[in-house]
Structure 1
Amino acid sequence: MKTQTEVLIVGAGPTGLALSIALHQAGVDHILIDRLSEGQNTSRAGVIHAQTLDSLAALGVSDELVARGLKVNNFTVRDRDKALLRLRFDALPSGHPYLLMLPQNITEQVLASRITTLGGVIHRRVTATCAEQDSAGARVTVNGPDGEQVISARYVVGADGMNSVVRQATGIGFDGGTYEDSFVLADVRLNWPLGQHEVSLFFSPAGLVVVAPLPGGSYRVVATMDNAPEHLSKSDVQAVMDSRGPQASNATDVLWSSRFRLHHRLANSYRCGRLILMGDAAHVHSPAGGQGMNTGLVDAVVLGETLAGVVGRNRPETMLDVYESLRRPAAARVLGLAGRLTDMATTLRRAPFIAPSRC
């Protein structure tokens, strides 16, 4: 691995991969590193929204993502078997008027394959330990297969998650907090009376549960749960369905599960000199609305265009401020919406439940 470049990207999750594609296409010299030995092998983020697919079309990956995913047009809020509110996506003013259900590991595979096609490399098992900068450039100390090295770059992009080493080096505040409630996320096999044509949000006194279809016939389940086990069993999923879902649902297998606490945080700034933030390094929030990975992917597309102008076409460095002016307000809006949805769900769980009536 070389030790000098125009742009160093720290983190090869979806946002780092997308930025690397954008820079390859623009002919900008860069290095992409990640501490993991391979990409994610679990599904985690499971939906790509219309605007995100429209943005990713410029990277040459939207068609492949669509081919690998499951198109869903309907979102329904339910009280057990009764539909309270229906939303449709097939009239969106978009080239992709639907929700695309696709596990994150497949999304990462598609992005990584595009990098390979463009002649790029993901340097894995390389961990950034500290970063510094001055007027001449930035330097990041890394540990990897070749031991400790220092990589010098004109700009360093932190795509390294909520505990970002790059953000810590900037001293930028990451204001917010942690929700009291715990959540579980699982991919399961279900005998599901609602089929694979809608994403369903159920409100009940027992708590919230979201059920969304995935390619291959499985379903993504996200639910509030007190004292959640580290790994959900089939009986755990069935108990959630029995207390919150439709009467005829039946869990048959758990493919993967995780428990987590929700954070809601937003970086006070997206740039400090030559150090730039995007994705979870800049904003984290509830999965309500399914916008986390999507917000980061659009960050990457916008930042890629901006860096291509500054590095590749000698535009003024002040252009980098345009990235923050566009993307931080967008993240703030997503953070606010996800927070309101999460507050509503957790408040309903603690209060006497009165189902909304249909108009």
Structure 2
Amino acid sequence: MLPDMTEILIIGAGPTGMALSIALHQANVDHVLIEKLAHGLQTSRAGVIHAQTLESLEPLGVTQRLSELSVKLEDFAIRDRNRALLKLDFCKLPSRHPYLMMLPQNLTEQVFAERISALGGTIHREVEAVAVAQDSVGARVTVVQNGQEKIISARYVVGADGMQSLVRKSTGIEFDGAAYDGSFVLADVRLDWPAGPTEVSLFFAPAGLVVVAPLPDGSYRVVATMDEAPEKPDVADIQALLDSRGPTRNKARVLGIGWSSRFRLHHRLVRAYRKDRLFLMGDAAHVHSPAGGQGMNTGIIDAVVLGQLLGDVVNGVRSEAELDLYETLRRPAAQEVLDLAGRMTDMALARNPVKRFLRNLALSVVDLSPFLKRRIALKLSGLSRAPLARLPAPSAMPGAVEASKSETGPKLKLAA
């Protein structure tokens, strides 16, 4: 049963909302997690969990179970049809998780939901938030459950409610950016795949990009650009994408489809992560190309950082003013991710023969440099952004952290 009041109301029970709920449970903070959908995802969507995300999740008690369900890969390659342009080895990452963890999003959500249940929590499903308002003493969210309206009062409200976020719209915060031309295809397929289940492969071709990544059940995740994709691509559609963009020797053969979808691609970032008592995280705050598999990972780390902060503030460990650290840390991280995904997408979508030649040449040169390859691996794994997920000790405030504003958002400065 929904309460009338709570310390924190989380709207949206995707991976970010559930990760925040776990963090708050562990901090013994009263909160309510609502979700308008009746069930969790039945399709896989996001498929990779990176090293930094796994390190951030360790305190939440879910990493071991995620590991048991996943397949771990050490190799990532960018190819132009048959030619390997750049090969990265993740086994040398400075992390307890030196690999790419491949796990469908529906299983990630299942693990998070089981953890919430083990902690005595509840996901209130089929509850839709329809209005959000706030004043100097709290926030009020109007929800609909079983056709009945109810108002829940909360000290803070967190929007983990996706790109069309009601919470973001309620704040009036601008969501700067635009949509890419065309569409993307996402599918989990059974493949006769010559490369085998050993690496994540990103193929460049004049027709566009295609990514092929092994999944734990022996199927493969396929992500590809497509100018006018059908709503649910079929075997013939996926086969045509692999024929026109994948290897020309030892061609792939699509044996069947588990599920498929089409989606439009945006690159957007909010101007602020907070307005008074309302907070944004995950896709409500940032959306971008799937290149590099950064979206869900960035949102989960948003949740872990915000969970630590809210837990400390509610428990009296930090002052309320320190909630500004959330934006100070996480907005620059999201900006870096948008820039990384954007560069990878722009490279992949190059159609001009001269640009493609120069791109391939540049990547081949990078492939000769262990230093540059390590830097790229650190960026893809998220480990290069680890300082933007690390809170200073409460005793260090104020004075240890200054937020300086710029056109690209606040940047963290640690005092000497």
Q: TM-score, normalised by structure 1?
A: 0.97
SS class of match (1:185): strand
**Correspondence 1:154 to 2:160:** no
**Correspondence 1:323 to 2:326:** yes
Compute the displacement of 1:256 (Å). 0.7
Change beyond 3 A, Cα 1:26–1:350: farther
**Correspondence 1:288 to 2:291:** yes
Compute the displacement of 1:319 (Å). 1.0
SS class of match (1:180): coil
Counterparts of 1:206 and 1:265 in 2: how far apart (Å)?
A: 25
SS class of match (1:44): coil
For structure 2, which runs of at least 5 residues remain unmatched after alignment? 366-416
Counterparts of 1:350 and 1:53 in 2: how far apart (Å)?
A: 40
2:312 — aligned with what? 309
The answer to whether the Cα contact below 8 Å between 2:206 and 2:350 also exists between their aligned partners in 1 is no
SS class of match (1:216): coil
1:172 — aligned with what? 173
Counterparts of 1:329 and 1:211 in 2: how far apart (Å)?
A: 29
1:262 — aligned with what? 265
Change beyond 3 A, Cα 1:350–1:148: farther
The answer to whether the Cα contact below 8 Å between 1:265 and 1:283 also exists between their aligned partners in 2 is yes
Counterparts of 2:260 and 2:355 in 1: how far apart (Å)?
A: 29
Compute the displacement of 1:145 (Å). 2.4
2:214 — aligned with what? 213
1:194 — aligned with what? 195
Amino acid at match of 1:277: L
Counterparts of 1:229 and 1:271 in 2: how far apart (Å)?
A: 37
1:140 — aligned with what? 141
Compute the displacement of 1:334 (Å). 0.2
Counterparts of 1:312 and 1:109 in 2: how far apart (Å)?
A: 29
**For each residue in 1:20-71, what CA deviation from the matched residue of structure 2 results, as whole angstroms up to 9, or x when unmatched?**
0000000000000000001011000000000000000010001100110110
Counterparts of 2:261 and 2:202 in 1: how far apart (Å)?
A: 19
Counterparts of 1:27 and 1:146 in 2: how far apart (Å)?
A: 31
1:16 — aligned with what? 17
State which drifts further: 236-245 or 329-338.
236-245
SS class of match (2:34): strand
RMSD of aligned Cα (Å): 1.3
Counterparts of 2:292 and 2:137 in 1: how far apart (Å)?
A: 42
The answer to whether the Cα contact below 8 Å between 1:138 and 1:152 also exists between their aligned partners in 2 is yes
**Correspondence 1:42 to 2:46:** no
Change beyond 3 A, Cα 1:149–1:59: same
Amino acid at match of 1:79: D
2:230 — aligned with what? 229
The answer to whether the Cα contact below 8 Å between 1:4 and 1:153 also exists between their aligned partners in 2 is yes
Change beyond 3 A, Cα 1:279–1:349: farther
**Correspondence 1:340 to 2:343:** yes
Counterparts of 2:314 and 2:122 in 1: how far apart (Å)?
A: 20
Counterparts of 1:356 and 1:267 in 2: how far apart (Å)?
A: 33
1:252 — aligned with what? 255
2:27 — aligned with what? 26
SS class of match (2:182): strand
1:129 — aligned with what? 130
1:86 — aligned with what? 87
Compute the displacement of 1:344 (Å). 1.7
For structure 1, which runs of at least 5 residues remain unmatched after alignment? none
The answer to whether the Cα contact below 8 Å between 2:188 and 2:257 also exists between their aligned partners in 1 is yes
SS class of match (1:217): coil
Where relative contact order (Cα < 8 A, 6+ residues apart) is larger, the structure is: 1
Amino acid at match of 2:17: G
The answer to whether the Cα contact below 8 Å between 1:3 and 1:152 also exists between their aligned partners in 2 is yes
**Correspondence 1:356 to 2:357:** no
SS class of match (1:109): helix
**For each residue in 1:233-272, what CA deviation from the matched residue of structure 2 results, as whole angstroms up to 9, or x when unmatched?**
1111111111111232111101111111101111100000
SS class of match (1:172): coil
The answer to whether the Cα contact below 8 Å between 1:157 and 1:275 also exists between their aligned partners in 2 is yes
1:203 — aligned with what? 204
Q: How many residues are paired up?
A: 359
Counterparts of 2:292 and 2:7 in 1: how far apart (Å)?
A: 36
1:242 — aligned with what? 243
Counterparts of 1:314 and 1:72 in 2: how far apart (Å)?
A: 40
Counterparts of 1:349 and 1:289 in 2: how far apart (Å)?
A: 23
Q: TM-score, normalised by structure 2?
A: 0.84
**Correspondence 1:67 to 2:29:** no
Amino acid at match of 1:135: S
1:95 — aligned with what? 96
Counterparts of 2:125 and 2:112 in 1: how far apart (Å)?
A: 15
State which drifts further: 207-216 or 242-251.
242-251
